[in-house]
């Protein structure tokens, strides 16, 4: 029987399938660098506090460095019988350096070890995701700059509502991504506490120095309650929530790109490198990347729901159920990072059919609100103006014309206060230019926002 670090009280070996089923090494091997870093910090502290000798410390450090090299060069053989990354590394260390390796686990448990490693690993991944979010924001800001005065229809209920600028539309996603970044930063801040020293659940009888390992591992502070530190997984749930919300934002953008690329909209074209064809229909160019990103959001949300359900009935402190946490959060972050990467690479190549957008904005009575506003400015109460323009629209639908094509006689017939000049002055350019206030769609406002975003993103402070 492959000797288990915990084998002492057992009389018969682990069931063969249980060995496989129980192992998490497939999932947690990727935390090897964090496991080594945590062990080094722990060993330094043990030595400093006189719990292990300087000689043992040196052996441990050398052994761990060797192991890091073995893993990185692909020589290291991870064993399922040794369950997880923690026991794999510890067993190898003992194999290499003997007794000193066996002393490393003094004043420590896998419970505080896994809580520490996971936090360290996810801290790094959060930073990577954050960089991807910032990059995508920068890409969208560039596009918004190029399309500050590209006019398109704005929709509510997916029905033409009012003209907007494409730059304004893109900057809406820059705002969403900024809140996403804020959620990751926020989760990172709460996550960055050091559980090491909590041991199995109650702390340890050895005279440890938790501030020392906290400093060594770049944590902000030690956790304050050992039971909480080894059993809390809300830092994972928070990351999954942040990832889910970000994925939902990308999914909404995806849905729009998919619609816009259809022959019926014809607003955009996406680069060939991000699309695929059909094996039967030769004419097809499918927006696979937006579709896939839209699909991934379901999977990422699944991870969040899985973790909430896993944790909800668990008594304190550690329970094996918690081993499932890494599957959920690693997959979610991997997928989200992929989505952000694809978008960061794909969006600069998006081609915009400005004419098609302009045509769409110029039909469907997108200027109706502005005609009502013009009547209000001439002294008509808004509700009456609304009614007059509604009748005008009905007239235009019957005649097959747009509002600005109504002649003076038609205007007078609908309402004497409806002036042919008002109608003739209607244009989509005037509509967007007039919404010239903070948060409005006017090109001047979009340009101001672009300048502010470029400055903020250059300083990585939004």
Q: Which residues are catalytic?
A: 157, 278
Report whether 59 contacts 100 (CB < 8 A): yes
Binding residues with ligand ARG: total (CB under 6 A)? 10
Closest to ligand ARG by CB, 199 vs 396, is: 199
Based on the shown chain and the rule CB under 6 A, indicate whether residue 32 belongs to the binding site for ligand ARG: no
Q: Where are the beta strands (DSSP E) in 125-168?
A: 151-156, 159-165
Nearest distance in Å: CB 256, ligand ARG = 40
Closest to ligand ARG by CB, 118 vs 165, is: 118
Closest to ligand ARG by CB, 316 vs 451, is: 316
| Rounded (to 5) percent helix, strand, coil in the chain | 65, 5, 30
Nearest distance in Å: CB 329, ligand ARG = 12
Closest to ligand ARG by CB, 37 vs 322, is: 322
Closest to ligand ARG by CB, 320 vs 383, is: 320
- Computed on alpha carbons and rounded to an integer, the radius of gyration of the chain in Å comes to 31
Nearest distance in Å: CB 184, ligand ARG = 23
Distances (CA, A) of 450 to 21, 181, 229, 453: 53, 18, 43, 5
Distances (CA, A) of 98 to 41, 76, 152, 190, 235: 20, 18, 71, 38, 36
Based on the shown chain and the rule CB under 6 A, indicate whether residue 19 belongs to the binding site for ligand ARG: no
Based on the shown chain and the rule CB under 6 A, indicate whether residue 210 belongs to the binding site for ligand ARG: no
Q: Which helix (H) or strand (E) holds 155?
A: strand 151-156
442 token code pair: 């006017």
Helix (H, G, I), strand (E, B) or coil at 276: strand
Distances (CA, A) of 289 to 172, 221, 271: 21, 42, 11
Which position among 84, 145, 238, 331 is part of the footprint of ligand ARG (CB under 6 A)?
84
Closest to ligand ARG by CB, 317 vs 374, is: 317
Torsion, Cα of 37, 42, 48, 49 (10° steps): 170
Based on the shown chain and the rule CB under 6 A, indicate whether residue 110 belongs to the binding site for ligand ARG: yes
- Candidates 396, 337, 319, 338; CA nearest to 365 is 396
Alpha helices in 262-363 (DSSP H): 288-311, 324-346, 354-362
The region of 109-117, 203-211, 360-368, 453-461 touching ligand ARG under the rule CB under 6 A is 109-117
Nearest distance in Å: CB 89, ligand ARG = 12
Residues 308-347, one symbol each (x = binds ligand ARG by CB under 6 A, - = not), give: ----------x-x-xx------------------------
Which position among 111, 244, 251, 367 is part of the footprint of ligand ARG (CB under 6 A)?
111
Nearest distance in Å: CB 166, ligand ARG = 47
CA distance 50 to 37: 20
Nearest distance in Å: CB 28, ligand ARG = 6
Based on the shown chain and the rule CB under 6 A, indicate whether residue 441 belongs to the binding site for ligand ARG: no
Closest to ligand ARG by CB, 10 vs 382, is: 10
CA distance 452 to 174: 12
Nearest distance in Å: CB 213, ligand ARG = 18
404 token code pair: 């600005």
Based on the shown chain and the rule CB under 6 A, indicate whether residue 24 belongs to the binding site for ligand ARG: yes
- Candidates 356, 438, 426; CA nearest to 152 is 356
Based on the shown chain and the rule CB under 6 A, indicate whether residue 114 belongs to the binding site for ligand ARG: yes
Residues in contact with ligand ARG by CB under 6 A are: 24, 28, 84, 110-111, 114, 318, 320, 322-323
């Amino acid at each position: 029987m492959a000797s288990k670090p915990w084998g002492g009280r057992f009389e018969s070996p682990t069931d063969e399938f249980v060995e496989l089923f129980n192992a998490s090494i497939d999932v947690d091997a990727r935390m090897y660098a964090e496991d080594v870093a945590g062990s080094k910090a722990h060993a330094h502290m043990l030595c400093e506090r006189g719990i292990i000798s300087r000689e043992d410390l040196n052996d441990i450090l050398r052994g761990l460095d060797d192991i890091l090299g073995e893993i990185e060069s692909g020589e290291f053989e991870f064993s399922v019988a040794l369950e997880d990354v923690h026991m794999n590394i510890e067993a190898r260390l003992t194999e290499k350096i003997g007794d000193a390796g066996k002393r490393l686990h003094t004043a420590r448990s896998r419970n505080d070890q896994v809580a520490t490693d996971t936090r360290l690993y996810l801290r790094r991944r959060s930073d990577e995701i954050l960089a991807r979010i910032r990059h995508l924001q920068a890409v969208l800001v560039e596009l918004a700059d190029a399309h500050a005065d590209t006019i398109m229809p704005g929709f509510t209920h997916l029905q033409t509502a009012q003209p907007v600028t494409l730059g304004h539309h893109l900057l809406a996603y820059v705002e969403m991504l900024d809140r996403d970044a804020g959620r990751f930063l926020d989760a990172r801040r709460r996550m960055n506490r050091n559980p090491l020293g909590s041991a199995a659940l109650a702390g340890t009888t050895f005279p440890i120095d938790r501030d020392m390992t906290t400093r060594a591992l770049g944590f902000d502070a030690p956790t304050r309650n050992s039971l909480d530190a080894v059993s809390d997984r809300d830092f994972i749930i928070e990351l999954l929530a942040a990832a889910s919300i970000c994925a939902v934002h990308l999914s909404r953008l995806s849905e729009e790109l998919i619609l816009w690329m259809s022959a019926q909209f014809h607003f955009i074209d996406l680069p060939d490198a991000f699309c695929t064809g059909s094996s039967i229909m030769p004419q097809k160019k499918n927006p696979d990347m937006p579709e896939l990103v839209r699909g991934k959001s379901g999977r990422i949300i699944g991870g969040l729901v899985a973790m909430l359900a896993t944790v909800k009935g668990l008594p304190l402190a550690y329970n094996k159920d918690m081993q499932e946490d890494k599957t959920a959060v690693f997959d979610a972050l991997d997928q989200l990072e992929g989505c952000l990467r694809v978008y960061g690479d794909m969006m600069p190549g998006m081609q915009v059919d400005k004419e098609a957008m302009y045509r769409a904005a110029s039909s469907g009575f997108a200027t109706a609100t502005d005609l009502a506003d013009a009547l209000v400015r001439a002294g008509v109460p808004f509700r009456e103006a609304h009614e007059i323009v509604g009748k005008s629209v009905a007239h235009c639908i019957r005649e097959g014309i747009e509002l600005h094509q109504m002649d003076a006689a038609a205007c007078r017939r609908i309402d004497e206060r409806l002036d042919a000049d008002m109608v003739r002055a209607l244009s989509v350019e005037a509509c967007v230019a007039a919404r010239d206030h903070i948060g409005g769609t006017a090109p001047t406002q979009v340009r101001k926002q672009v300048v502010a975003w470029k400055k903020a993103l250059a300083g990585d402070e939004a």
